């Protein structure tokens, strides 16, 4: 232990700073193809592992379980099912959201994984609810996860 | 193995491919802000800078006078047991002349930085700072005596930049 | 014998090293890991543990990037640890792999290193501004190249070394890299070219310095039993060493890397090496700057203090010299995706010892090689001794 | 077989803020305590130092640079594990098992109060392509997980809230705890539902502190102490970083880490063979989910056990007698060390008012928090 301590709270100095920079992430080999499919063809794709016989959504370059390179891509459709969800009422800075946001993991038939996204056009959600991806108009798409505006309940 | 492999993975991009949007990207700037506690040693050090002094801590076990100050002696691993002022003069231990700014852009006037072994501190106890009032960077020499140039006292905030830079000290004959 | 179990490298993999690669960090990791596994004739399920090495999160732009990279590194459902010692990480990571196996806890370990520096935009240099003390150093406007220039200058001053002597390292390594299929900056250049290149921060000029890069590397480690099953020519990790010096880098004499010597002594003691220049056949010291190769040869006790420039001038460190240094082309030639560059050095020794280095193969019958990396605030040394 | 023991511990904190100490000084104080406890001189007696830290939680790139001096590790063999303190423990355990090192020091700390934008930094840990662009407070991931966990296991929101009541009460008796209180079940249930069904009071608050531990081989331990705490085994696992493909009900990373730890410690029935557990409870439901993944009970049983007081300090199987992270405060990468610290103190019989009678075997567990699926489990005992 040190031989002296700060006893006057006004003597305890703080120094402000940051670790901020701009980042530009390449979408990668699988990501670029996935988001191009959404942007250009409005399709949500998965990648099939021939060894594990599962279709990964989102598609990856490789199977995380066995490391097989994934070459076969399949359209998993825009319709899925809510695997789980939450209703967020606060934002990242802790402030109250004006309107709560429903986040959910949407699974697609026959596929492993799914997409984390927002549920729109409802303030209710439940596990097992069928939903469909609503894409932005083609001109507004930027090859991003936000090219899907939200998932809309089908019920 | 290395000799047998024909193709190594990696899809090569040019920087302009990214700039021109030829390759798809996602952009982000994180918010990562901090307020580091300066602590016992550095809070005092900063306060003393505001007064135009450079303060060091001492370890009576090894006899070292340490700057920047710390509350533990990293050699003996005990608490330091005293404070002492060191001089705002010293000698250049090593220096470099930067033609690059922090963002890697080219500077018009080079920045000279040096490790300055301060007078009154133990041998080799240097701090890093800029060197100023040098007409040509080639005048800077190893072992050259320098002296701190302080901001006017009302402009000091208790920061290492309360010292604007160190300037060459014209040697006075005793 | 070292440890409870002797540990071998049985496979290695590399991606290209380039300023910008399209693959994500995960994908780069996968490519290197897959190649390393394929080269060892092993599969992911054969790996019982995974170790990741990667330099600051501020390059890739992901907090906890070890976690983010885990699936690409093959860590799905496996014990997984990331180690991090700045620039020293690349050679340190296989040391971490070594204790996973040497402890008897695991028979195999996949050792991964990845760096995607290009994500930090427009230049990765920015990320380096946050390696400094925020109160005492960042306000001065610190720049990474400054501090190396300070160290280089001190080294030159102390031993009266000329820039011409140092430039020879850059010439050698960039030429060596012409034979490396992954290299970013292999080139035939002259001492004049180095001396005439743009002054960045005197005494550092453009051609004294390695570039920033994207890339990944991987090696597969196995216990003695497994190694003998899967290969006829394992390369043994016979010595490991690491050391860190005080944070207060402005309180140290930068002309000599004590921490590298300390790490080297630790590794040599384990490997039973008493006379390093005689017992070591080749070395891959860390060379992000040309003077660092010289600095590190001295720290590795491969020559006396201040003697490395002379050996370089005499051609001793060429591939066909008595003590080849950086036969891969080093960071100066291959590029510097920080952690991946360190592991590339380990891979190079692995390939050289197995006689698989192709055009880069050094003559004779090398039996012992050393790789070393260096990091933090001119503060860290990591050393590995490999034997056939 | 080389046995590994913990022979010294030192802790400073945990407190909501520590403005009077720099992170270096905080580490120094905890280290001095640990070395004093172990009776060693770090400049002579330590073979390896391991520090556990992540850059963005410190505000530095290459935090490793700023570590050695205050630990007595200048010009010594130190390195950083970018992970939780219990990954540091696993590392120290392996280092000693190689037979090359006798004494290894592990350090982890939190200077959370130095961070002004903690949540933004957590969000910066999300996949930059598939997840982060959605925006939002990253704890929505916990809300989603809790929802699925409750759905699949029929655990109730009251049972989750009961974890908070128990842990904050336990923390009142822990001098290392920052957030002890006599909170009621109603207060927890009526707190804001930030991420339905997750409530505000079910989320741990970060705290400042540092824990340092000294580990040695059996031979070295015998010379230093009469009450070593033996590390019987350590298991670790990363499930997958991908949110989309992980198991949202069962914490598979904990299940696999536990299986490894039990196998190596030769434990068949943890409920019977372990006396208490320090389980990662960053969110209240996580304590229940983790108990089940740790095989302390079946899936869906932990809530009931909690409701029935079985996991209270005087219950049949105390869980988080320290007060957990909900009570002591979340020590960032030191959170696993907080778990280990309590386990060591209990096994030494030095847990004061919290002491569990006749405890012989304890379990410490950690998780690396949102958005990871990485966990570590250690089995400690005061019987060799």
User: Residue C176's pLDDT is what?
Assistant: 98
Residue B19: closest CA among chain A residues belongs to which residue?
A24
CB B40 within 8 Å of CB B68: no
What pLDDT, on a 0 to 100 scale, did the predictor assign at position C36? Answer: 97
Distance between CA C30 and CA D254 in Å, rounded?
A: 25
Residue C123 to residue B103, Cβ atoms within 8 A: yes
Identify which of C58, C69, C62 has the alpha carbon closest to the alpha carbon of residue C123.
C58
Q: Do C27 and A15 touch (CB under 8 A)?
A: no
Of D282, D287, D294, residue with least CA distance to D377? D294
Do B122 and B93 touch, CB atoms closer than 8 A?
no
Tell me whether residues A13 and B42 touch, CB distance under 8 A.
Answer: yes
Q: Kindly indicate whether the domain formed by A26-153 is annotated with CATH number 3.20.20.105.
A: no
Please list every residue in chain B whose beta carbon sits closer than 8 Å to the beta carbon of residue D117. 31-33
Residue pairs between chains C and D whose CB atoms are closer than 8 Å:
188
A67 prior amide bond cis, ω within 30: no
**Torsion-angle region of B120 (φ positive above 0: left; ψ -120 to 50: alpha; else: beta):** left
Give the position of tokens 């499919």.
A37
Min distance D129 CA to chain A CA atoms (Å): 6
Chain A hits for D140, Cβ within 8 Å: 86, 88, 101, 103
Q: Does B15 touch chain C (CB under 8 A)?
A: yes
Separation CA D216–CA D95 (nearest Å):
10
C83 touches chain D (CB under 8 A): yes
C126: Cβ–Cβ under 8 A, 6 or more apart, which residues?
A21, B102, B103, C58, C120
Sheet containing B54-58: give its strands across: B65-66, B54-58, B82-86
Q: Which residues of chain A does B44 touch, with a Cβ-Cβ cutoff of 8 Å?
A: 11
Residue of higher predicted confidence among D199 and B174? D199
Of A29, A65, A66, the CB nearest to C27: A29
CB distance D151–A84 less than 8 Å? yes
What's the rounded mean pLDDT across residues B14-29?
A: 90
pLDDT at D58: 97
What confidence score (pLDDT) does residue C178 get? Answer: 97
List the 56-75 stretch of B: residues with Cβ below 8 A of A.
71-72
Chain A CB contacts of C24 below 8 Å: 25-29, 31
Determine the pLDDT at residue B126. Answer: 95
CATH class of C7-122+211-387: alpha beta
**Interface contact A23-C122, CB threshold 8 A:** no
Name the residue among D199, D215, D175 with its Cα closest to residue D88: D215
Residue of A15, A26, A69 lying closest to C24 (CB–CB)? A26
Chain B residues inside the 8 Å CB shell of A24: 18, 25-27
The nearest alpha carbon in chain C to D99 belongs to C3
With an 8 Å Cβ cutoff, are D24 and B70 in contact?
Answer: yes
Per-residue pLDDT tens digits for D282-327: 999 999 999 999 999 999 999 999 999 999 999 999 999 999 999 9
- Please, what sign has the CA dihedral across residues A93, A96, A100, A102? positive
- Looking from the CA of C180 toward its CB, the CA atoms found within 13 Å total 33
Cβ-contact C262, C243 below 8 angstroms: yes
The per-residue pLDDT for C4 is 53
User: How many domains, in total, are found in chain B?
Assistant: 1
Per-residue confidence (pLDDT) for residue C1, from 0 to 100: 42
For chain D, give the longest Cα–Cα distance. Answer: 57
Mean pLDDT of chain D: 97
Partner residue facing D137 (CB), from A56, A92, A118: A92
B103 touches chain C (CB under 8 A): yes
- Chain C neighbors of A66, CB-CB under 8 A: 43-45
Selected residue with higher pLDDT from B8 and D262: D262
Contacts of B159 in chain C (CB under 8 A): 135, 139
Cis peptide before A88 (omega within 30 of 0): no
Q: Which residues of C touch B2 (CB under 8 A)?
A: 12, 14, 181, 347, 351, 356-358, 360
In this complex, do A25 and C119 lie within 8 Å of one another by their Cβ atoms? Answer: yes
Strand partners, C382: C242, C373
Q: What does each C-alpha distance from B126 to B56, B123, C29, C229, C292 come to in angstroms?
A: 11, 9, 41, 55, 22
Interfacial B residues in 89-148 facing A (CB < 8 Å): none
Is the CB of residue C96 less than 8 Å from the CB of residue D88? no
For residue D303, what is the enclosing H or E element?
helix D302-307
Assign D335 to helix, strand or coil. helix
Contact status of B40 with chain A (Cβ, < 8 Å): yes
Q: Is residue B2 part of a domain?
A: no
Residue that is written with structure tokens 């109250």 in the block: A96
State yes or no: pLDDT of D183 exceeds 60.
yes
Q: Which residues in chain A land under pLDDT 70?
A: 1
Residues from chain C contacting residue B5 (CB–CB below 8 Å): 35, 181
Shortest alpha-carbon distance between residue B149 and chain C (Å): 14
Q: What is the C-alpha to C-alpha distance for residues D290 and A113, in angstroms, rounded to an integer?
A: 22
Give chain C positions within 8 Å (CB) of D83.
Answer: 66, 81-82
pLDDT digits (tens, 9 = 90+) for D206-223: 999 999 999 999 999 999
A contact residues 24-43, partner D, Cβ 8 Å cutoff? 25, 27-28, 31
Write out the residues of chain B at the interface with chain D, using a CB-CB cutoff of 8 A.
26, 28, 30-42, 70-72, 74-77
- Topology classification of domain D146-202+230-381: Peroxisomal Thiolase; Chain A, domain 1 (3.40.47)
| Secondary structure (DSSP) of D58-124 | TT-SSGGGGSHHHHT-TTB-EEEESS-HHHHHHHHHHHHHTTS-SEEEEEEEE-GGGBS-HHHHHHT
Task: Determine, for residues B34 and A16 on separate chains, whether the beta-carbon distance falls below 8 Å.
Answer: yes
Q: Is B36 an 8 Å CB contact of chain A?
A: yes
The upper half-sphere exposure of residue C231, i.e. CA atoms within 13 Å in the direction of its Cβ, equals: 24
Residue C203 CA, distance from chain mean position: 23
CA atoms within 13 A on the CB side of A87: 14
Tell if the CB–CB gap between C119 and A15 is shorter than 8 Å: no
Determine phi and psi for C58, rounding to 5 degrees: -70, -10
- Residue-level pLDDT at B2: 56
Please give, rounded to a whole number of angstroms, the shortest distance from the CA of B127 to a CA of chain C. 6
User: How many CB pairs (< 8 A) connect A and D?
Assistant: 127
Handedness of CA D196, D202, D206, D212 (dihedral sign): negative
Give the other-Cβ count within 10 Å of D383's Cβ: 9
Instruction: State which residues of chain C have pLDDT below 70.
Output: 1-4
Residues C32, C112 contacting (CB under 8 angstroms) = yes
Handedness of CA D191, D193, D199, D201 (dihedral sign): negative
Point out the residue among B30, B70, B72 whose CB comes nearest to the CB of D120.
Answer: B30
Tell whether B110 is covered by a domain: yes
Residue where the block lists tokens 């492999």: B5
- In Å, the largest CA–CA distance within chain B is 73
Report the percent of chain D where pLDDT is more than 90: 99
CATH number corresponding to D4-117+207-224: 3.40.47.10
In D, which residues are within 8 Å of C61 by CB distance? 124, 128
Host H or E run for residue A131: strand A130-135
- By the CB < 8 Å criterion, does B35 face chain C? no
Tokens found for residue C154:
């001190």
Q: Exposed e or buried b for every residue in B4-23, given b needs 16+ CB within 10 A?
A: ebeebbbbebeeeebeeeeb
């Amino acid at each position: 232990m040190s031989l002296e301590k700060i006893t006057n709270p006004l003597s305890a100095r703080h120094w402000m700073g940051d670790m901020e920079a701009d980042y530009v992430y390449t979408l990668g080999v699988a990501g670029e193809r996935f988001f191009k499919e959404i942007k250009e063809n409005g399709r949500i794709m998965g990648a099939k592992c021939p060894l594990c016989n599962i279709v990964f959504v989102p598609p990856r370059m490789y199977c995380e379980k066995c490391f097989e390179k994934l070459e076969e891509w399949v359209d998993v459709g825009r319709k899925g099912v809510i695997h789980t969800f939450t209703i967020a009422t606060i934002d990242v800075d802790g402030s109250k959201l004006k309107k709560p946001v429903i986040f959910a993991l949407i699974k697609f038939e026959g596929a492993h994984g799914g997409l984390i996204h927002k549920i729109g056009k409802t303030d209710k959600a439940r596990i097992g609810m069928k939903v469909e991806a609503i894409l932005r108009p083609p001109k507004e798409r930027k090859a991003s996860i936000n090219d899907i505006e939200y998932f809309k309940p089908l019920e | 193995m290395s000799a047998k492999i024909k193709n190594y993975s990696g899809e090569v991009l040019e920087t302009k491919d990214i700039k021109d949007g030829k390759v798809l990207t996602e952009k982000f700037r994180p918010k990562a802000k901090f307020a580091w506690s300066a602590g016992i040693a550095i809070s005092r050090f900063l306060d003393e800078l505001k007064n135009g002094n450079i303060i060091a801590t001492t370890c009576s076990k090894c006899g070292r006078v340490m700057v920047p100050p710390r509350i533990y002696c990293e050699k003996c691993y005990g608490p330091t047991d005293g404070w002492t002022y060191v001089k705002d003069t010293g000698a250049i231990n090593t220096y470099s002349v930067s033609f690059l700014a922090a963002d890697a852009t080219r500077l018009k006037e080079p920045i000279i930085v040096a490790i300055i072994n301060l007078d009154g501190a133990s041998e080799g106890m240097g701090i890093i700072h800029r060197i100023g009032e040098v007409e040509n960077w080639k005048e800077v020499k190893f072992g050259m005596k320098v002296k701190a140039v302080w901001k006017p006292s009302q402009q000091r905030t208790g920061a290492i930049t309360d010292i604007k830079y160190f300037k060459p000290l014209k040697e006075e004959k005793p | 014998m070292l440890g409870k179990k002797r540990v071998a490298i049985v496979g290695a993999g590399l991606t290209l090293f380039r300023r910008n690669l399209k693959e994500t960090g995960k994908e780069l990791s996968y490519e290197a890991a897959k190649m390393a596994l394929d080269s060892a004739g092993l599969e992911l399920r054969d790996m019982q543990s995974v170790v990741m090495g990667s330099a600051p999160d501020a390059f890739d732009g992901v907090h906890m990037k070890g976690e983010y990279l885990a699936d690409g590194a093959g860590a799905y459902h496996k014990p997984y640890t990331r180690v991090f010692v700045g620039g020293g990480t690349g050679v340190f990571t296989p040391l971490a792999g070594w204790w996973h196996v040497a402890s008897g806890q695991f028979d195999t370990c996949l050792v991964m290193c990845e760096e995607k520096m290009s994500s930090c935009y427009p230049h990765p240099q920015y990320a380096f501004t946050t390696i400094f003390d925020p109160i005492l150093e960042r306000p001065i406007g610190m720049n990474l190249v400054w501090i190396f220039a300070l160290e280089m200058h001190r080294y030159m001053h102390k031993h009266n070394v000329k820039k011409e002597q140092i430039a020879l390292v850059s010439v050698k390594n960039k030429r060596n890299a012409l034979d490396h299929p992954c290299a970013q900056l292999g080139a035939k250049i002259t001492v004049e070219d180095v001396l005439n290149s743009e002054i960045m921060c005197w005494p550092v000029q453009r051609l004294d310095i390695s570039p920033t890069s994207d890339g990944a590397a991987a090696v597969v480690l196995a216990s003695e039993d497994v190694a003998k099953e899967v290969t006829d020519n394992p390369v043994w990790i016979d010595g490991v060493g690491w050391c860190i010096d005080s944070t207060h880098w402005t309180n140290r004499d930068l002309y000599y890397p004590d921490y590298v010597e300390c790490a080297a002594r630790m590794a040599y003691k384990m490997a039973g090496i008493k006379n390093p220049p005689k017992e070591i056949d080749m070395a891959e010291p860390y060379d992000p700057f040309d003077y660092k190769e010289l600095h590190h040869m001295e720290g590795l006790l491969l020559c006396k203090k201040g003697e490395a420039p002379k050996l370089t001038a005499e051609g001793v460190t060429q591939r066909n010299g008595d003590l080849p240094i950086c036969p891969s082309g080093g960071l100066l030639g291959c590029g510097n995706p920080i952690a991946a560059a360190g592991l590339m050095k380990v891979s190079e020794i692995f390939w050289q010892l197995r006689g698989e280095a192709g055009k880069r193969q050094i003559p004779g019958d090398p039996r012992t090689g050393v790789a070393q990396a260096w990091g933090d605030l001119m503060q860290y040394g990591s050393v590995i001794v490999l034997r056939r | 077989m080389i046995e590994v023991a913990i022979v010294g511990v030192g802790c400073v904190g945990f407190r909501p803020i520590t403005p009077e100490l720099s992170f270096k000084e905080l580490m120094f104080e905890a280290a001095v305590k640990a070395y004093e406890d172990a009776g060693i001189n770090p400049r002579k007696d330590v073979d390896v130092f391991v520090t556990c830290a992540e850059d963005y939680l410190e505000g530095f790139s290459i935090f490793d640079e700023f570590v050695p001096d205050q630990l007595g590790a200048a010009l010594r063999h130190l390195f950083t594990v970018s992970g939780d303190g219990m990954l540091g423990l696993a590392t120290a355990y392996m280092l000693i098992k190689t037979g090359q090192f006798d004494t290894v020091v592990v350090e982890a700390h939190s200077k959370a109060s130095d961070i002004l934008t903690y949540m933004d930094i957590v969000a910066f840990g999300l996949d930059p392509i598939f997840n982060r662009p959605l925006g939002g407070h990253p704890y929505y991931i916990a809300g989603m997980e809790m929802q699925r966990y409750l759905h699949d296991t029929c655990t109730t929101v009251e049972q989750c809230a009961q974890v908070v009541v128990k842990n904050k009460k336990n923390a009142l008796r822990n001098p290392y705890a920052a957030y002890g209180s006599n909170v009621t079940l109603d207060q927890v249930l009526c707190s804001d539902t930030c991420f339905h069904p997750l409530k505000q009071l079910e989320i741990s608050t970060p705290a400042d502190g540092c824990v340092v531990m000294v580990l040695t081989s059996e031979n070295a331990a015998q010379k230093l102490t009469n009450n070593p705490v033996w590390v019987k085994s350590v298991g670790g696992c990363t499930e997958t970083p991908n949110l989309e493909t992980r198991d949202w009900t069962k914490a598979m990373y904990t299940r696999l880490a536990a299986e490894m730890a039990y196998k190596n410690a030769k434990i068949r029935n943890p409920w019977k063979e372990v006396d208490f557990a320090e389980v990662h409870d960053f969110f209240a439901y996580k304590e229940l989910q983790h108990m089940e993944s740790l095989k302390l009970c079946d899936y869906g049983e932990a809530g009931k056990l909690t409701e029935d007081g079985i996991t209270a300090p005087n219950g049949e199987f105390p869980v988080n007698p320290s007060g957990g992270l909900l009570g002591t405060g979340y020590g960032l990468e030191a959170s696993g060390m907080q778990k280990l610290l309590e386990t060591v103190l209990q096994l030494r019989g030095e847990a004061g008012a919290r002491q569990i009678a006749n405890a012989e075997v304890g379990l410490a567990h950690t998780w690396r928090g949102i958005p990871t699926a990485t966990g570590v489990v250690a089995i400690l005992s005061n019987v060799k």
